[in-house]
Every structure is written in C-alpha cells, then in structure tokens.
Amino acid sequence: MRFRWRRWTLRRMRLPGRALGRWLVVVCGLGVLVVALAGAAGPFERTREFREVSACEQGAGGCFDAEKGSIVARRTYTTTSTHTDANGSTTTTTTVHHEVTWQRADGSRRARDVPSSFYAAAPEGQEAVLQLWRGEVVGVKVMGAAAWFLPESGSSLRWWSYLAHLGVGVLLWGLLFGWWDGFFMLAFRLFCWMFLSVVPVGFVTHGLAYGFATGSGLVFEILTGAFFALVAGAMLVSTLNDW
C-alpha cells in the first residue's frame, strides 16, 4: 500500500508540470500565429493592389511600366534534396534549374530562375523589355517569350504564410498531443508539417498576384497539391503511433 501511494503521489506531482508544458506550447503557437497574421496584413494588401495591375496587363496590356534591358548571362544548375521518412528510408531528388541574368538601364543586374521555355528564347546579348511595378522588375519579355515573378509583397506574404502555418502546427501539437520523444522526431514532424504548406501557399500567393489557373491548369495544380499533401500527411501520421 505504501509503495502504491508513493507511485500515485509521483504521478500527481508530474501531471501539473506536463500540463504546464503543454499550455506553454499552446501559448507559443498562438503567439507565432498572431505575429504571422499581423505581419501578413500589409503584404496581402499590396499583393491585392498588384493583382489589379496584372489583371489589366493580361487584358489590355501596357499597364506595367516598361524599361529596356538586356540578357547578360545565363546558366543551368542542379540542386539535390534528400528526404528521410519515419522508417529510415531515404529518397534523393535532383532538380535542374534555368537561370538568366538581366541588366537594367542603370547598370544593375539581377539573376532569377526562369522556365526552360524562356531560357531557350533568351540567349546572352538578347534585348529585353523589363516590366516594372513600383520600380521593381516583375517580368522580363524577349522576342516570343516572357517570364513573370512574384513582387516582393507576394514573396513576403508567402513567408508570413509559412510562419502562420508553423504557428498552427505548434498550437495543435500543444492542444492534441504534447509529448516529447527527442529532437530527431521533433525535426522530422516539423519538416512534414511545413512540407504540407509548400504547394498550397505557393498556389494561393501566385493566384493572388496573377490570378488562379482555370481548366486543366487548375486541375493539375489541385492534383499536385493533393499528392504532396498526402505524402507529407502520411509521413506525419506515421510518427503518431503513440497517440
């Protein structure tokens, strides 16, 4: 009886600490979410303003400011990413990138990744027309091809959205689970959770800036997002066997 009473007493002593830890996680997640939403407000409004100009450009044309420039360099390069699932299986993916560098009238240069079709139509020395919005290059046109980029407000909105997604994840972990099983599992779950947001956030921010795809393009984007969400979701759920 004495031994059982001690065990029950120890359990009672542990429970408040564990509950306090979970509530700290909840508060932390809520704080990150609030900061992210507050930070995203300004970029969201500016991206909506950009959308009005891009819609005008797609309809009538000539709605962005234009500046003459030139393609001064280009290259291809590869990146390799390695993913390890909860069972320890490793998958390596290699991606080929196409990059061009343009030069503005003031001599400044900027390198950006572009679609392969634009890369093929933009050799070094090719004249280009730079599309400007509030002094920022948001598009490059050459003979027969064009490449468009998110404005800085759209990029900021995307990063704030990732932070908001992280805050939601921390909040849900504190409310629903809250156990601790090591740094590796923490990092792996964090990777899976954030991977869930990559395609949806990219889809939404690009749609807010340039409009959402329709027809087969929309179906392809939805299927792509669903595929990556299922993969990341399955990896995440596989780590919750103790729940």
The string of pLDDT tens digits covering residues 114-128 is 999 999 999 999 999
Q: Are residues 156 and 40 in the same domain?
A: yes
Look at the chain and report how many structural domains it folds into.
2
Distance CA 70, CA 122 (A): 9
For residue 5, is it within any domain? no
Locus of tokens 């995203």: 40
Tell me: pLDDT of 4 over 50.
no
Cβ neighbours, 10 Å, residue 133: 20
Name the nearest CA neighbour of 203 among 164, 136, 148, 150: 150
Q: Which two tokens stand for residue 166?
A: 């992280």
For residue 56, is it within any domain? no
For residue 6, is it within any domain? no
pTM of this structure: 0.79
pLDDT reported for residue 61: 81
pLDDT reported for residue 18: 67
For residue 243, is it within any domain? no
Tell me: pLDDT of 23 over 80.
yes
Q: Are residues 144 and 69 in the same domain?
A: yes
Q: Are residues 45 and 86 in the same domain?
A: no
For residue 124, is it within any domain? yes
For residue 134, give the H/E element and its range. Answer: none
Q: Which two tokens stand for residue 169?
A: 């994840």
- Give the residue from 89, 116, 148 where a domain finishes: 148
Distance CA 89, CA 91 (A): 7
Q: Are residues 159 and 208 in the same domain?
A: yes
The DSSP code for 239 is: T
pLDDT tens string 172-224: 998 888 777 788 888 889 999 999 998 889 989 999 999 887 777 778 878 88
For residue 57, is it within any domain? no
pLDDT reported for residue 15: 41
Distance CA 198, CA 41 (A): 20
- Give the residue from 114, 148, 182 where a domain finishes: 148
Locus of tokens 């993969």: 231
Q: Are residues 76 and 103 in the same domain?
A: yes
DSSP string, 138-189: EEEEETTEEEE---HHHHHHHHHHHHHHHHHHHHHHHHH------HHHHHHH
For residue 109, is it within any domain? yes
Name the nearest CA neighbour of 123 among 147, 149, 100, 97: 100
Residues 6+ apart with CB under 8 A from 130: 66, 67, 68, 69, 102, 104, 137, 139, 140, 141
- Give the residue from 105, 127, 148 where a domain finishes: 148
Cβ neighbours, 10 Å, residue 205: 23
Distance CA 51, CA 30 (A): 30
pLDDT reported for residue 8: 36
Distance CA 150, CA 43 (A): 12
pLDDT reported for residue 124: 94
For residue 114, is it within any domain? yes
- Could you list the residue range(s) of the whole structural domain that residue 164 is in? 18-49+152-237
Q: Rank 10-14, 90-94, 99-103, 201-205 by mean pLDDT and report only the highest.
A: 99-103
- Whichever domain contains 105, its CATH number is 2.40.50.660
